[in-house]
Amino acid sequence: MLKHRRRKYMAILFTLSLLVAVLSLICLSIGGVRIPIKEVFLSLIGRNEGSSDLIVMQFRLPRIAAALLIGAALSVSGALLQGVVRNPLASPDLLGITGGASVAVVAFMTFFAGYSVHWVPFIAIAGAYIAVALNYVLAWKKGVSPFRLVLIGIGISSAMGALTMFLLISGPAYLAAQVLNWMTGSIYGTNWRYIEALWPWIAVFIPLSLLYAKELNIQSLGEEAAVGLGSRLQLSRILLLFYSVALAGAAVGVAGTISFIGLLAPHIARRLAGNSYLILIPVSALLGAIILLLADLAGRMLFQPLDIPAGVFTAGIGAPFFMYLLFKRKAV
């Protein structure tokens, strides 16, 4: 039975990884200028001497890499939050993480002209941590209950949204279009500097999250059972929130508020791979990457010559899905 499960999980991971690779090649090939797959391969191995090499390596590849990293970061962040809060409706949008990161980045863009992109993930993560710390302090009452964490998080998200709009209105007019485009969740114009700023956060915190997979499995049994099994519940929650905030904050810093991936991907992952976080985390990461790749591809291709932000498509799919989950839980 154990061998059968292991084979099933390996098959799921292999299939999703293959799908990510195929979709990435398709995204590199199609666009305003169609590039044959052969030329894409030649560019990737450094053998393409034609003009298409510039398009592939300097314009499309950074965008694809950003979609993969950001989708993985947001989905793993959502999976961790759902494990900590023990609520399938939890996501970085819900607990104020995205809102805190947005306020910090918009303030940074407004008051510090000519900023370096390498600072943006740090600023976003700092803002997200402040929002989550405020949430945690307000929710504390002889420990933190997941229910209070969610309720206070909704209030903080609303407050952060209002503060972001205030900064946008009161800031310089010439920044308004740039900030609005960022706020809708776009990876348009992403270059290698953004990837350099983003990838270390994902490379560090997704593996750290996997180290806590067993702890999340224990916590899913309930607080009393987890404590009985030796879990240091509050410390583990703080660490897991720390990892989740770092991943979501870094993603928001580069791409803006791409919503609902942290809700969608873990749910689909549970349907495919079950509830064990050792497999749920990598499956969520791959599914998040696929969702954002598809959303960005739709934004590039469906309304040419306009480039619609990927966040528009994730919100368009995610909002009805959230309502479905809400009504499903009410019916139970």
Half-sphere exposure of 242 (CA within 13 A, CB side): 9
- What six digits make up the tokens of 142? 């002889």
Domains and CATH numbers, the chain: 1-331 (1.10.3470.10)
- State phi, psi for 144 to the nearest 5 degrees: -115, 120
Which residues touch 278 (CB under 8 Å, ≥6 apart)?
Answer: 210, 213, 214, 217
Rounded average pLDDT over 321-325: 72
Q: Is 71 exposed, middle or buried (0-12, 13-18, 19+ CB in 10 A)?
A: buried
Q: Please report where in the chains the tokens 């976080």 appear, as a residue.
A: 277
Burial 294-312 (b: 16+ CB within 10 A, else e): bbbbbbbeeeeeebbbbbb
Cβ(281)–Cβ(213) below 8 Å: yes
Pair of tokens at residue 176: 């308004």
Q: Is the pLDDT at 227 greater than 80, yes or no?
A: no
From CA 61, how far away is CA 157, in angstroms rounded?
Answer: 33
Is residue 109 scored above 90 in pLDDT?
no
Predicted confidence (pLDDT) per residue in 75-107, tens digit: 999 999 888 887 777 788 777 888 888 888 888
| CA distances from residue 49 to 39, 45, 284 in whole angstroms, order as listed | 9, 11, 37
Q: Which residue has the higher pLDDT, 223 or 280?
A: 280
* Separation between Cα atoms, residue 259 and residue 244, nearest integer Å: 15
Distance CA 64, CA 71 (A): 11
Q: What is the pLDDT of residue 203?
A: 94
- Over 80: is that where the pLDDT of 164 sits? yes
Lowest mean pLDDT among 34-38, 141-145, 154-158: 141-145
**168 by DSSP, 3-state: which?**
helix
Q: What is the pLDDT of residues 189-219, one digit of tens each?
A: 788 888 998 999 999 999 999 998 888 888 8
Residue with tokens 């991936």: 261
195: closest CA among 60, 29, 30, 28? 60
Q: For residue 61, is pLDDT > 90?
A: yes
* pLDDT given for residue 318 in this prediction: 75
User: What single string gives the DSSP state of each residue in 36-91?
Assistant: -HHHHHHHHTT---STHHHIIIIIIHHHHHHHHHHHHHHHHHHHHHHHHHT-TT--
At residue 266 the predicted structure's pLDDT band, cuts being 50, 70 and 90, is: very high
pTM of the model: 0.89
- Identify the pLDDT of residue 302: 85
CA atoms within 13 A on the CB side of 303: 11
Give residue 12's pLDDT. Answer: 92
Higher pLDDT, 304 or 125: 125
Which amino acid makes up residue 313? F
